[in-house]
Amino acid sequence: MNKKGGCFSVFLVLILSFSLLLNLMFLSILQSKKATGAPTSLEEEFVGGDFAIKDSKIALIHLRGLISQDEAGTFTQNSVEDIKVQLKAAREDKKVKGIIIAINSPGGEVNASDVIYHEIRLTRNVKPVVIYMESMAASGGYYSAVGGTYLMANDLTITGSIGVIMESFLVKDLMEKVGVKAFVFKSGKMKDLLNPTREMTPEEQAFVQGLIDETYNRFVSIVSKERHIDINKLKNNLADGRIFMGQDALKNGLIDGLGYFEDAFNKCKELSKVQSARLIRYTPPFRISNLFRVFSRGMTPKIELNYPGIRFPLSSGQLYYLYPQAFGLSS
């Protein structure tokens, strides 16, 4: 009798667990259909300023780490979309009078950096956007920053690094030593561009350099337009990949002011024409799908090669607005 009762209890637990799982999946599907990939509303967290003020808010948004559409997001599937979602929420909230974007990034993918620049520029046409550069706002981090209304850095901030980098590898000699041969079948002479098993031809080198130059000219023209710096001055001096500390960045017109975060907050209130404001940041609303994402991440096997002190953010053959020394790599 006890054995039958025990079996029935186990069976009941399994049925209830399965029913709960089905309900969670059903609710997750409903939420994803309603949200269409991004949260329609974001939760707010008080982080500073005047708590009693309800109708005047300053939104704080963080841009950190490698700027890439492959970096996982908190609000959405990737970190670039995260920035877009938060900026959209701040733009459309009439109680948000201004925005502070705190940047701590060495840059990243050229397209991702350009998308964030475009979104910041779009937002500054609606309300003031103060950029506060933390430890680093270099290369693509700086590219994104110039879309703001006012750029502020700390004396010790690393910024600049205006330029483009692409890396590739050559393993031909190694393959010859171990007796491995590669056979490539292609439809055109440029189809296996940057093939690591052979040397590049002069024509291929010129083609790749043309891509670099075109992307570099885009960067320089954006900085020239936004910072009102002569483009020849940039190309002949400031935009050769060098970095600047806060004082030099200010002296060369790359930023508008120096200070700490509280100074950026005060500047944002000034530009927003409010005396007091509640400083808030956005947090993602709870979604059941996030639970499944956490579980799936935990169950996904990973193979990683770790070298002490070195990270490898660059994908071979991809263009970056990146300060590579931030990852222990030399350009």
In a domain, 31, yes or no: no
In a domain, 4, yes or no: no
**Residue 196 three-state SS:** coil
In a domain, 7, yes or no: no
In a domain, 303, yes or no: no
Q: Per-residue pLDDT tens for 267-310?
A: 999 999 999 999 999 998 765 555 555 454 445 454 443 434 44
CB 74 within 8 A of CB 113: no
The confidence score (pLDDT) of residue 38 equals 44
In a domain, 140, yes or no: yes
Q: Which residues are catalytic?
A: 139, 191
Residues 6+ apart with CB under 8 A from 267: 130, 150, 152, 257, 259
Tell me the Ramachandran region of residue 302: left when phi exceeds 0, alpha when psi lies from -120 to 50, beta otherwise: beta
What pairs with residue 109 in β-bridges? 320
Number of domains in the chain: 1
99-108, 247-256, 309-318: which range is least confident on average?
A: 309-318
In a domain, 304, yes or no: no
What b/e readout covers 261-280, taking b as 16+ CB neighbours within 10 angstroms? beebbebbbebbebeebbbb
**What domain range includes position 68?**
39-289+313-327
| Cα-Cα end-to-end distance for the chain | 76
In a domain, 192, yes or no: yes
Neighbours of 312 (CB within 10 A): 11
Q: Per-residue pLDDT tens for 82-108?
A: 999 999 999 999 999 999 999 999 999
Q: Per-residue pLDDT tens for 225-247?
A: 999 999 999 999 999 999 999 99
Distance CA 284, CA 38 (A): 10
The confidence score (pLDDT) of residue 192 equals 86
Where does the pLDDT of residue 313 fall: very low under 50, low under 70, confident under 90, or very high at 90 and above?
Answer: low
CATH code assigned at 148: 3.90.226.10
pTM of the model: 0.81
Residue 203: pLDDT over 90: yes
> What's the mean per-residue pLDDT of the chain?
85
The confidence score (pLDDT) of residue 171 equals 85
* Cα maximum dimension of the chain: 91
Q: What are the strands, taking DSSP E only, across 2-56?
A: 43-49
In a domain, 119, yes or no: yes
